[in-house]
Amino acid sequence: MIVPVDNTNAKRLYHKPGFRETGRVHAVTDGLDEIELSMP
């Protein structure tokens, strides 16, 4: 699961059911990055 870093509401949505950040970050543009989430 990949969620844009600046989308706080989406991060909240995915963290509730137990998704955790993997530490991988994907640069989409100069100002937009995506973080990778996974289920433990």
Question: Tell me, what's the pLDDT at 33?
Answer: 82
> CA-CA distance, 9 to 28, in Å (whole number)?
19
| Amino acid letter for position 36 | E
Q: Looking up tokens 């059911």, which residue turns up? A: 17
Question: Tell me, what's the pLDDT at 21?
Answer: 87
Question: Tell me, what's the pLDDT at 6?
Answer: 63
Q: Which two tokens stand for residue 8?
A: 């706080």
Question: Tell me, what's the pLDDT at 2?
Answer: 64
Q: Which two tokens stand for residue 23?
A: 């530490």
Question: Tell me, what's the pLDDT at 1?
Answer: 64
Count of all residues that appear for the chain in the document: 40
pLDDT in tens, 1-40: 665 556 778 778 877 788 888 999 888 888 778 888 888 8
Which value, in Å, is the radius of gyration of the alpha carbons in the chain?
Answer: 10
pTM attached to this predicted model: 0.57
Cα 6 to the chain's mean position, in Å? 9
